[in-house]
């Protein structure tokens, strides 16, 4: 019997036992589709969080500091950080949040508020082309270093801008696009609460996929806060450490400095902590989540596998008789095993492909509905799930054949 | 001699206290063109006899020469070839493959023989025509009566035109009328030159054969020519 005959015979057998075929495939389909969907969506979300961390930069130390007499303490912090040296600290900046209305031509940040309603596209993903109001920050000349921005054109805030209370600003890439479109923002004056602020630079894009992008920002010299938000004192700062090791050292030193400055809490309060810590915590949580859901997925794959195994083994008696009949009318051992191998491979292959298709669709839909992301299935997971169920199916598919073909025909015929 | 067995034993659980001798030193020769009925009560070893003669089972001791060849020395491939080309089986329980249609069941031995699709279909249709089932070739076995299923099994057995037909209680599951048809068909095949071996517990059925071999407790107790009850 040649391969073409064997293929035809396997196909006939599959079509002749529709119930059994569907049940076998069902195990494979459910196993593959569920593993793909769960693991891919979780992976996709984790990667998204990681991307945002990367955009923000690592080795940041957040400092909260406020003195009860209301004195501006940034200068003290700035001087102290400079005294620590470039091996330990490479930058320090205020990270105060400003609240102001930005107007340029027909563009108005207040009017942009209502665009938040349109943040999600019809198919559930976040839109990155919606003009949302920018986040406004007060910074020093080291704001870019501390927050991982690269200058794309123009110049950054300078030490003199700070000293002389210059009315200038630097735009993040998306803020520049929202207000100026394809026009060159450099040298243009934005109206900030009615005061003119000249755009001197634009940062390169670093977080293109998020809705609330870190590129939708405008940075002002922190000394402009006296003009824009009089009476507000800045109490949040970011220190950029030179390395992972330097971060811990910097946190220790800064906390020492802060307790000195605040008189151990008598004249104010101050605290420094590493962003690495909560990044690590978040990463750990993500890994944990991956493991738990991966475990659930593995269990469903296992259940699918057991399903395949069951249906294959349940039909052993029936199939043993069939093998006995085939042997009695002249089938060789090798023809029997070939036929059953092809049959199992076809069944599992078809089931596997259906599972892959359903898994892909389910991943895309779940990704959009649950985490508002454009997620494609992860290839190693998909491949692993596919191979595992197909191998299981084939193994348990040829098991009865291999066993029964070794019997004398009469013993196989007697099976009940 | 077409079939010759010498001092054949089939022993289950040999050496144990509870050993069963299904065949206990049987010798038998059957010539080409004979119609032999093997008769015996349940447990007499008649089915074991057919399994051995049909190369479905291997005797524990003793030699079996089929057309001069010692069956014990044949490989699985050669035994399969003999079952495929030399012998057509008709079983009491029909032993059709339920998932295949009537036509596919009848074509099956021809597939294993490697006959091409067109010729295969022709031979299968010819066999089905002989048993009068041409109108039902697309049906599944379960959609048919017992008599019709047995006719499908007969068509499958004769599709390859084997020189030997072995029937194990072919009428056992049928009513007397359809059973009668089956037996008449076997006589017809014998007239056309096939060697027919019919296994039965029923003396009346055995009367359709020229030669009657009686088995009891695994031994041949009688082997005689008899008047044929032509149907």
What domains are there in chain B, each with its CATH number?
31-59+76-225 (3.40.50.300)
Task: Answer yes or no: do A408 and B56 touch at CB < 8 A.
Answer: yes
Task: Answer yes or no: do A408 and B84 touch at CB < 8 A.
Answer: no
Q: List CB contacts (< 8 A) between A329 and chain B.
A: 83-84, 89, 108-109, 112, 156
- What integer pLDDT is reported at residue A68 of this predicted model? 86
- Residue A182 pLDDT greater than 90, yes or no: no
The region that residue B141 occupies, defined by phi over 0 for left and psi between -120 and 50 for alpha, beta otherwise, is alpha
Minimal-distance CA residue of chain A relative to B52: A410
Would an 8 Å CB–CB cutoff place A317 in contact with chain B?
Answer: no
- What integer pLDDT is reported at residue B224 of this predicted model? 92
- Residue A1 pLDDT greater than 70, yes or no: no
Task: Answer yes or no: do A328 and B80 touch at CB < 8 A.
Answer: no
Would an 8 Å CB–CB cutoff place A408 in contact with chain B?
Answer: yes
Of B58, B54, B55, the residue nearest B23 (C-alpha)? B58
Average pLDDT, whole number, for chain A? Answer: 84
Would an 8 Å CB–CB cutoff place A11 in contact with chain B?
Answer: no
- What integer pLDDT is reported at residue B9 of this predicted model? 94
Identify the band that residue A234 occupies on the pLDDT scale cut at 50, 70 and 90: confident
Domain boundaries, chain A: 3-50+282-413, 59-277
Residue B214, CA atoms < 13 Å, CB-side half-sphere: 11
**What residues pair up with B168 in beta bridges, in sequence order?**
B199
ipTM over 0.85: yes
Q: Are A192 and A143 in contact (CB under 8 A)?
A: no
Q: List CB contacts (< 8 A) between B100 and chain A.
A: 12-13, 16
- What integer pLDDT is reported at residue A124 of this predicted model? 67
In this complex, the residue of A16, A321, A332 whose CB is nearest that of residue B76 is A332
- Residue A21 pLDDT greater than 80, yes or no: yes
Q: What integer is the mean pLDDT of A388-406?
A: 81
Coil, helix or strand at residue B194: coil
pLDDT tens, A95-132? 888 888 888 888 888 888 777 777 777 766 777 777 88
Would an 8 Å CB–CB cutoff place A327 in contact with chain B?
Answer: yes
pLDDT tens, A266-303? 888 888 888 777 777 777 887 788 788 778 877 877 88
Minimal-distance CA residue of chain B relative to A330: B84
Task: Answer yes or no: do B108 and A329 touch at CB < 8 A.
Answer: yes
Q: Are A397 and A348 in contact (CB under 8 A)?
A: yes
Residues contacting residue A276 through CB under 8 Å, at least 6 positions apart: A58, A59, A60, A244, A247
Of A138, A352, A357, A124, the residue nearest A236 (C-alpha)? A138
Residues in chain B with pLDDT values less than 70: none
Would an 8 Å CB–CB cutoff place B97 in contact with chain A?
Answer: yes
- What integer pLDDT is reported at residue A60 of this predicted model? 85
- What integer pLDDT is reported at residue B159 of this predicted model? 95
């Amino acid at each position: 019997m040649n391969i073409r005959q064997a293929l035809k015979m396997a196909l006939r057998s599959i079509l002749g036992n529709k119930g059994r075929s569907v049940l076998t495939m069902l195990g494979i389909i459910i196993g593959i589709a569920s593993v793909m969907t769960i693991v891919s969506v979780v992976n996709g979300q984790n990667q998204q969080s990681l991307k945002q961390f990367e955009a923000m930069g690592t080795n940041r130390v957040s400092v909260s500091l406020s003195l009860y007499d209301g004195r501006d303490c940034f200068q003290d912090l700035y001087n102290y950080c400079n005294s620590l040296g470039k091996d330990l600290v490479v930058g320090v900046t205020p990270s105060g949040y400003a609240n102001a209305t930005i107007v340029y031509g027909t563009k108005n940040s207040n009017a942009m508020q209502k665009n938040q309603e349109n943040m999600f596209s019809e198919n559930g993903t976040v839109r990155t082309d919606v003009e949302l109001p920018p986040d406004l920050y007060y910074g020093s000349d080291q704001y870019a270093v501390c927050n991982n921005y690269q200058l794309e054109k123009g110049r950054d805030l300078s030490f003199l801008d700070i000293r002389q209370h210059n009315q200038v600003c630097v735009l993040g890439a998306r803020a520049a696009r929202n207000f100026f479109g394809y026009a060159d923002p450099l040298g243009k004056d934005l109206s900030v609460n009615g005061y003119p602020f000249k755009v001197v630079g634009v940062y390169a894009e670093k977080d293109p996929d998020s809705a609330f992008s870190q590129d939708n920002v405008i940075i002002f010299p922190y000394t402009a806060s006296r003009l824009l938000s009089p009476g507000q004192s800045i109490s949040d700062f970011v220190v950029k450490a030179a390395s992972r090791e330097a971060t811990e050292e910097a946190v220790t030193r800064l906390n020492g400095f802060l307790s000195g400055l605040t008189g151990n809490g008598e004249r104010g309060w101050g605290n420094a902590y590493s962003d690495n810590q909560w990044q690590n915590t978040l990463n750990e949580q993500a890994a944990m989540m991956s493991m738990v859901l991966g475990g659930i997925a593995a269990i469903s794959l296992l259940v699918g596998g057991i399903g395949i195994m069951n249906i294959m083994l349940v039909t052993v008696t029936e199939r043993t008789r069939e093998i006995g009949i085939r042997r009695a009318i002249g089938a060789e051992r090798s023809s029997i095993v070939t036929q059953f191998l092809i049959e199992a491979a076809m069944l599992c292959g078809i089931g596997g492909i259906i599972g892959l298709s359903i898994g892909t669709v389910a991943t895309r839909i779940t990704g959009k509905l649950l985490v508002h992301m454009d997620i494609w299935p992860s290839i190693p997971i998909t491949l692993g799930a596919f191979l595992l169920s197909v191998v299981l199916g084939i193994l348990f598919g040829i098991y009865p054949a291999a066993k029964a073909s070794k019997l004398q025909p009469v013993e196989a015929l007697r099976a009940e | 001699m077409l079939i010759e067995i010498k001092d054949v034993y089939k022993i289950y659980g040999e050496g144990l206290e509870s050993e069963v001798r299904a065949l206990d030193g049987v010798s038998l020769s059957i010539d080409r063109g004979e119609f032999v009925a093997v008769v015996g009560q349940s447990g007499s070893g008649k089915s074991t006899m057919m399994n051995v003669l049909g190369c479905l089972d291997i005797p524990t001791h003793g030699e079996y020469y089929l057309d001069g060849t010692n069956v014990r020395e044949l490989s699985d491939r050669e035994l399969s070839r003999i079952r495929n080309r030399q012998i057509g089986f008709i079983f009491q329980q029909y032993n059709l493959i339920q998932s295949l249609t009537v036509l596919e069941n009848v074509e099956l031995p021809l597939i294993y023989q490697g006959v091409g699709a067109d010729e295969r279909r022709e031979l299968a249709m010819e066999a089905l025509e002989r048993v009068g089932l041409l109108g039902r070739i697309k049906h599944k076995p379960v959609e048919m009566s017992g008599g019709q299923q047995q006719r499908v099994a007969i068509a499958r057995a004769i599709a390859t035109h084997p020189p030997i037909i072995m029937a194990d209680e072919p009428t056992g599951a049928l009513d007397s009328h359809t059973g009668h048809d089956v037996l008449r068909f076997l006589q017809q095949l014998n007239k056309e030159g096939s060697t027919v071996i019919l296994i039965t517990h029923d003396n009346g059925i055995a009367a359709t054969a020229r030669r009657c071999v009686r088995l009891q407790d695994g031994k041949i107790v009688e082997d005689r020519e008899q008047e044929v009850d032509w149907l």
